[in-house]
Amino acid sequence: MGHAARRTGLSPAEYLAFERASEQKHEYANGAIFAMSGCTRAHSLLAGNIQRELGNALIERACEVHTSDMRVKITPTGRYVYPDASVVCGDPVFEDAEIDTLLNPNVIVEVLSDSSEAYDRGDKFAQYRSVPSIAEYVLVAQKEVRIEHFQRQPDGRWLLSILGPGTQLELESVGVVIDVDRVYLKVPLAPSASD
């Protein structure tokens, strides 16, 4: 989650009014807003690569790929977040006539960073699991070629696959296969401790 903002005690309607007038993005949880921080070069490239791969794969299908500019509401808990990428197939459902808050994504992608990794793996993932439409959750590492793919099973459990160089990310819920190496094209990985 981002850095705590000065405003707390906001209702969801007050948050949306504040957010729509703001030049900066904020997530919302339990009446508090959290300013979203900027990102690194690697983070930006990874997010752009996966958005492009998803967009190209789904270009002729009734699916939409959204960037981190599309707000997602986690309706069961009332939280508002900005995933690095989201996919919705079929008819997208939005919170209101502003058409800026998606309610029914099928796939969520988060690029991990030092400041958000614990949140993305923990509380944020728990929040996403409460959304029935979300079938797959993807975590993309910045420091190595590593993608963690969580897939909701028919019995409600989540199956984890860890993908590295030379493998493919298969998003069954939207019928897409992406080469992991293409997600990491031109991405400067952090040198390991042994380098």
Nearest to 144 by CA among 162, 171, 125: 162
pTM beyond cutoff 0.85: yes
Per the listing, tokens 């989540």 go with 158
Residue 188's pLDDT is what? 92
Question: Which residues contact residue 195 at a Cβ distance below 8 angstroms, ignoring those fewer than 6 apart?
Answer: none
Q: Which CATH class is domain 40-183?
A: alpha beta
**Residue 95 host element (H or E):** none
- Rounded to whole angstroms, how far apart are CA atoms 192 and 195? 5
- Rounded to whole angstroms, how far apart are CA atoms 182 and 186? 9
Share of the chain above pLDDT 90, in %: 83
- What letter does residue 94 receive in the DSSP assignment? B
Domain boundaries, the chain: 1-37, 40-183
Residue 23's pLDDT is what? 87
Q: pLDDT tier at 195 (50, 70, 90 boundaries)? A: very low
